[in-house]
Amino acid sequence: MNFCSQCGEKVRFAVPAGDDRPRYLCDACGTIHYQNPRIVAGTLPVMGSKVLLCKRAITPRKGHWTLPAGYMENAETTRQAATRETWEEACADVTLGDLYTLIDLPHINQVYMIFRAELVGGFSAGPESLEVALFEEHEIPWDILAFPTIERTLKHYYADRKCAYYPLHISTITPEDRERYLGSA
């Protein structure tokens, strides 16, 4: 950030009085520009014993498989965002279940919130997907999944499915986890 969105003057990056971390500050109008993590909301859509995945048509990780998910918009709930993203990426209607994975990625300022969901009817590739398909566990393209958050969510799901118990999984992906994952892809 170079200029204040309130008055257009130049900003500086410093720790405001009474705060504990640097922020963009405008000395002209006194605005403190707070920046917060982005919420990625999506679903783990299931039909019978199969999971719906989307092959990404956009960067990053174009051509890799993912669960339908994306950035939450202002004025919507996480559940609305998850449902909307599933429709946008897979043209799929779902019945949302409970929040299933909450994964913090502090090094890139993101929080993933993936809900379990039942697929209702058909599906097709949306504008951000090259293709969408249902996969049995043994068919999951593990070596070309787009993100470590997706791999972690799927591994939890297949482990939990054995006992039909689906608790909320809360975890963090570190830069080392991400580097190890992306280095293997």
pLDDT at residue 176, rounded to an integer: 84
The pLDDT value given to residue 175:
86
Residue 23's CATH number = 2.20.70.10
158 in Cβ contact with 137 (< 8 Å): yes
Query: Do 53 and 1 share a structural domain?
Result: no
Residues 130-146: b if buried by 16+ CB within 10 A, e if exposed = eebbbeeeeebeeeebb
Residue 182 has pLDDT above 80, yes or no: no
3-state secondary structure of 143: helix
Asked if residue 177 and residue 142 are part of one domain, the reply reads yes
Tell how strand 129-135 and strand 169-172 pair up.
unpaired
**pLDDT tens readout for residues 64-122:** 999 999 999 999 999 999 999 999 999 999 999 999 999 999 999 999 999 999 999 99
Domain encompassing residue 8: 1-35
Please report the pLDDT score of residue 185 as a whole number: 53
Closest C-alpha among 43, 38, 33 to residue 11:
33
Q: What is the pLDDT of residues 42-52, one digit of tens each?
A: 999 999 999 99
Report which of 50, 63, 185, 48 is spatially closest to residue 131, judged by C-alpha positions.
Answer: 63
Ramachandran class of 121: left when φ > 0, alpha when ψ lies in -120 to 50, beta otherwise: left
Domain count, the chain: 2
* Residue linked to tokens 């922020």: 23
Q: Is the pLDDT of residue 180 over 80?
A: no
CATH at residue 139: 3.90.79.10
